Amino acid sequence: MNMPRNTSELNMASIQMVSTPNLNENLEVAARLTKAAADSGAQLAVLPEYFCLMGLKDTDKVNAREAAGSGPIQERLAAMAQENNIFLVAGTIPLEAKESNKVLNTSLVFDPVGKQIARYDKIHLFGFQTETERYEESETIAAGNQPGQFAIRLNEVDWRFGLSICYDLRFPELYRSLGTVDCHIIPAAFTYTTGKDHWEILLRARAIENQCYVLASAQGGIHLNQRRTWGESMLIDPWGEILSQLPEGEGFIQGTLSKDKLKEVRSKLPALKHRKL
């Protein structure tokens, strides 16, 4: 695995896609971009929400669901992590839920040997309606009920991450419940309508109020189902500054997490220690 010169730094990549209804095609794109990120020095890469399938209808993901721990999507993801010697936060995939007509929208984390080390099932389900748009995730997705997080150790340095997905971004209490982390990782498929007004400001708020990095991986473009997603995958530092971003289209961004920067922000403005509630 490629290591930055400073062992208190971690090289991260956020992959942006414009996923299609073709599962195998999406997996090929994800594999290609993950390899490109790893070849560029990324030690951890993040795929976007629905990276494996942006169906022509909502029920397509129910038909593509897998049992936890087995299935071609999960096998391919484990192989991608192992082949590239990288930690991989695998956006979201559809896993079996108790209700046969629904799925869990699940983010899985794999280590560089291809072992699954964390899982988070999306808690907050998106609902939005205008005269021209309607989204109701609860019709095909079952909500999770446990916050997600994971930790890794590289070169004798510990890193702690929070896991959340897309619509979760609007619920700051979720991030507070996870405590102090180095970085919140957020795979997403924000709509163009909500993204243009709220995406950046919400991401920067989560970074500022939690004094941590935020790495968001997005869908970004017009899909074959005519849905348009906002894009703007970005890495934000603990002071709320955008370090890297990709407006639209397929590709990836890269940046570095710094323990020194985290300490600097938290020492000069110890807001986390000033909390009363």
Q: Is there a catalytic annotation at residue 196? A: no
Q: Take residue 126 and report the two structure tokens written for it.
A: 């998106």
State residue 5's pLDDT score. 58
Q: 52-67: string of b/e by CB count within 10 Å (b at 16+)? A: bbbbeeeebbbebbbe
Output the tens digit of pLDDT for each of the chain's 277 residues: 555 557 899 999 999 999 999 999 999 999 999 999 999 999 999 999 999 999 999 999 999 999 999 999 999 999 999 999 999 999 999 999 999 999 999 999 999 999 999 999 999 999 998 888 888 999 999 999 999 999 999 999 999 999 999 999 999 999 999 999 999 999 999 999 999 999 999 999 999 999 999 999 999 999 999 999 999 999 999 999 999 999 999 999 999 999 999 999 999 999 999 999 8
State residue 1's pLDDT score. 53
State residue 6's pLDDT score. 79
Q: Is there a catalytic annotation at residue 166? A: yes
List the helix and strand counts (H, then E) for the chain.
Answer: 7, 16
Rounded (10°) angle between helices 72-84 and 23-39: 20
Q: Are 94 and 53 in contact (CB under 8 A)?
A: yes
Residue among 122, 137, 212, 248 flagged as catalytic = 122
Q: How far apart are CA 166 and CA 249, in angstroms?
A: 18
- What's the pLDDT tens digit per position in 128-154? 988 888 889 999 999 999 999 999 999
CA triple 241-165-37, angle to 5 deg: 65
Q: 87-111: string of b/e by CB count within 10 Å (b at 16+)? A: bbbbbbbbbbbeeeebbbbbbbbbb
Q: Take residue 192 and report the two structure tokens written for it.
A: 């163009």
- Map out the domains of the chain as residue ranges: 10-274
Q: Which residue has the tokens 């919140």?
A: 184
Residue among 52, 166, 183, 212 flagged as catalytic = 166
What's the CATH number for 10-274? Answer: 3.60.110.10
State residue 130's pLDDT score. 85
**Cβ burial, residue 213 (10 Å; 0-12/13-18/19+):** buried
Q: Are 51 and 79 in contact (CB under 8 A)?
A: no
Residue among 49, 137, 232, 248 flagged as catalytic = 49
The predicted model scores a pTM of 0.96
H or E segment to which residue 127 belongs = strand 127-129
Q: How far apart are CA 9 and CA 178, in angstroms?
A: 22
Q: Is there a catalytic annotation at residue 57? A: no
What would the 3-class secondary structure string for 34-51 be? HHHHHHCCCCEEECCCCC
Q: Are strands 141-142 and 103-110 parallel, antiparallel or unpaired?
A: parallel
